[in-house]
Each structure stands twice: as structure tokens, then as C-alpha cells.
Amino acid sequence: MNNVFVYCEVEGTRVLEVSQELLTKGRKLANQLGVQLHAVIAGTGIKNNVEEQIRPYGVDKLFVFDGEGLFPYTSAPHTEILVKLFKEEQPQICLMGATVIGRDLGPRVSSALFSGLTADCTQLEIGDYDDRKAGKHYENLLYQIRPAFGGNIVGTIINPDNRPQMATVREGVMKREILDENYTCECVYPNVNDYVPAECYVVKVIERHVETAKHNLKGAPVVVAGGYGVGSKEGFDLLFQLAKELHGEVGASRAAVDAGWADHDRQIGQTGVTVHPKVYIACGISGAIQHLAGMEESDIIIAINKDENAPIFSVADYGIVGDLNKIVPALTEKIKAELAKED
């Protein structure tokens, strides 16, 4: 009762990273609240295959629903499982990934439970709230923080009266950290038929087509990102040359993507991907809040911009004011020369 729940997504028998990121955050929230962290996962052939991918993140109790028809994901069976399980367990918080599945499943569950849902959160915190109009004081609420109005403001959303407090979070926003490889976890294997009626399986996936990623932007140790200040698609060639020497990947701001200078899957920020590289080189990026949401947790941020007042410099560890069309080629040549010395 009143525990923190995380819904874990699975691809075959592999637990997705976004779920492990949420388990890490869920553990911290549970510690603050003095409750347990529970997880739920549903799929086909997952028993004895997923437990070791979940337990080390500090999960106290894991519900494994293993049955035919639960993978690939379809809406009805997973919705029935969560709604009935949550009615039994009465969690106070439920976290899901803001993925294709999470964006479908979350609203269905929250609607069935009349609980409400905050999508695409960038931060989750625990705090109190005073409703002065009603004269009520609430303790230990989930602060669901997310950009609003196109990223121009950051809103904090609370759900004082209804449970569970539900939120979705995009992949890469939270850091994934193993708590204890030998963490003690109670695993429960409910009978799927007790939760999912036969009519929920009327929709079946006939064929799946999954495209492999063209690049490894999320896992790259170095990201060279370009904004509207790059000036053209040809200008991005300079960034690709620099990234090649650094064994990194090239990212882009939304403005550069909208201009057609970079592919959409390279977009970094609130409406793109979130990255945590060791080094992030921002070239011609102004530093709008929407973009910062996707890269501000980078270990080292280097900004190159001809506008010395650009907001990107406020988060940068190192800043270079000047023409990137001159600076980037010079930087590339310098790195080439240093690497040649090592050889």
C-alpha cells in the first residue's frame, strides 16, 4: 500500500533502458517517502529472464506477468493488468516511460482509475503543498515538473487528492544507476488469466517492423551539435568532420532540423532526444530552454557562438566567442595533428 510503482517495458526478454532509468529515480523517491519500490512487467517468455535486469536497481517487489499474447504490446491486456493490480496494491506513485507504449498505456490506466497523468516530465521531486483556498495542507506530494507553452515556462504539476500520481518521463532524462547487484527482491508471478479476460486478446499484432538506429547519439561519449547558427546543411559537414576525429556523433537543435539541415532523429532537446555525453560541443546554438532540457546534464559543455550574450554560455564550462566556420575547422585540424603525434 502507498508504494512507488514503475511499469517496465520489455523488448522480447530485454528490459528497456528507460525503465531502468525510472527504477533508479523510483528508488530515490521511495527512500524519501519511506516506502518500498515495486515494479511490474508483462510479456511472453520473460519469467526467469528479466528479474536480474530489474532487481539490482533497488526493487523490493517485482510483479512478473508472463503469458501468451502479452508481447508484442497491445493496449487492452496491459491496461487490464495495471488497472486491476493498482486497485489491489493502491500505489501512491506510478512512473512510465514517455515511449510509444507509455503514451498509449498511461492515459488508459489513469482514465480508468480517475487519477490524472502528467506527460513528458523532466524532473520529479517530493514536496508539500498548501491549498490556501480550501485551507488544506498536503505532505509528500509528487512534484511533476515539465516545460510548458513551447518550453517558455517550466510548470510544476501536483495531484493532491487522487492516486496513483502518474507521470511519464522520456528516455535519457533520468540517470540509470545500479544500486546493489545482490539486492533482495521478492518476485511474484500472478496468474495472467485472473487479470486479463479472453476478449482483451481480440487485437493481435500480425507483423512487426523495427528499424535499427542509424547512429548512437544517446550513447556517444562526445556529441558535436549544431544550431541555426551553423547557417546551412553544408555547414554541418564541418561538424561531421570534427565528430569523426573525436569518435563522436552529430546532433542538432530543433531550429536546424526544421531548416532541413539535419535529420529529425538527430534532434536534441525537449522534443528530441536527451543525451549525457562526457563532452558536448554546441556550435551555433543559442541555448533555448527547450534545447537545454536535452543536454544540460552533459559532463563538459563547450559552446561556440559569435554572440557573447547567447544563453548557452550560462551553462557552458568553456566558451568560445567567434565564427564557428573558422573555429571548428581549426579545432579539427588541431585534433588531427595531436592524434598524428600519438601515432
Residue 226 confidence (pLDDT) above 90:
yes
Contact 291, 254 (CB under 8 A): yes
Does residue 150 surpass a pLDDT of 70? no
Contact 116, 137 (CB under 8 A): no
CB distance 331 to 320 below 8 Å: no
Residue 208 above 90 pLDDT? no
Hey, which bits of 291-335 come out as E strands?
300-305, 318-321
What is the structure's pLDDT at 296? 87
Q: How far apart are the C-alpha atoms of 22 and 39, rounded to whole Å?
A: 10
- Mean pLDDT calculated for residue range 8-28: 95
Q: How far apart are the first and last CA of the chain?
A: 61
Q: Give per-residue pLDDT as tens, 280-323.
A: 999 999 998 889 888 988 999 999 999 999 999 999 999 999 99
Mean of the per-residue pLDDT values of the chain? 92
What is the secondary structure of 96-109 as a DSSP string? EESSHHHHHHHHHH
* Rounded CA separation 41/105 (Å): 13
282 with 313: CB under 8 angstroms? no
Which pLDDT band, with edges at 50, 70 and 90, does 147 fall under? confident
Q: What is the mean pLDDT of residues 171-199?
A: 92
The mean-pLDDT minimum among 11-15, 147-151, 204-208 falls in: 147-151
Q: Where are the domains of the chain?
A: 4-201, 222-342
What is the structure's pLDDT at 4?
96
DSSP state of 172: T
- Give the whole-number percent of the chain exceeding pLDDT 90: 76
- According to the model, what pLDDT value does residue 173 have? 83
> Which DSSP letter does residue 315 get?
T
Q: Structure pTM?
A: 0.81
Pairing type for strands 136-148 and 117-121 reads: unpaired
Instruction: Give the Cα-Cα-Cα angle 138, 143, 146 (nearest 5 degrees).
Output: 150
How far apart, in whole angstroms, are the C-alpha atoms of residue 77 and residue 70?
A: 7
CA 92, 94, 136, 32 torsion: positive or negative?
positive
- Cell 516545460 locates to 147
Q: What is the mean pLDDT of residues 142-158?
A: 82
Q: What is the pLDDT of residues 238-273, one digit of tens each?
A: 999 999 999 999 999 999 999 999 998 899 988 788
Average pLDDT over residues 4-15: 95
Query: Could you say which of 3.40.50.620, 3.20.20.140, 3.30.70.330, 2.40.10.10 is the CATH number of the domain covering 4-201?
Result: 3.40.50.620
Q: CA dihedral defined by 24, 44, 199, 194, rounded to 10 degrees?
A: -70
Q: Mean pLDDT, to the nearest integer, of 208-216?
A: 77
pLDDT of residue 157: 92
Question: What is the spatial distance between Cα 302 and Cα 304, in angstroms, rounded to a whole number?
Answer: 7
Helix, strand, coil proportions of the chain in percent (round to 5)?
30, 25, 40
pLDDT confidence of 338, banded at 50, 70, 90?
confident
Distance in angstroms (rounded) separating the CA atoms of residues 9 and 334: 44
Given this chain, do its domains 4-201 and 222-342 carry the same CATH topology? yes
Cell of 143: 512534484
Helical (H) or strand (E) element with 323: none
Confidence of residue 343 (pLDDT cuts 50, 70, 90): low
Instruction: Report whether CATH 3.20.20.80 matches the domain 222-342.
Output: no
For residues 39 and 52, what is the distance between their CA atoms, to the nearest angstrom? 13
Q: Quick check: 212 pLDDT over 80? A: no
pLDDT tens digits, 51-66: 999 999 999 999 999 9
Cell output for 245:
576525429
Residue 342 has pLDDT above 80, yes or no: no
Question: Band of the pLDDT at 151, cuts 50, 70, 90?
Answer: low
Phi, psi for 118 (deg, rounded to 5) = -110, 125
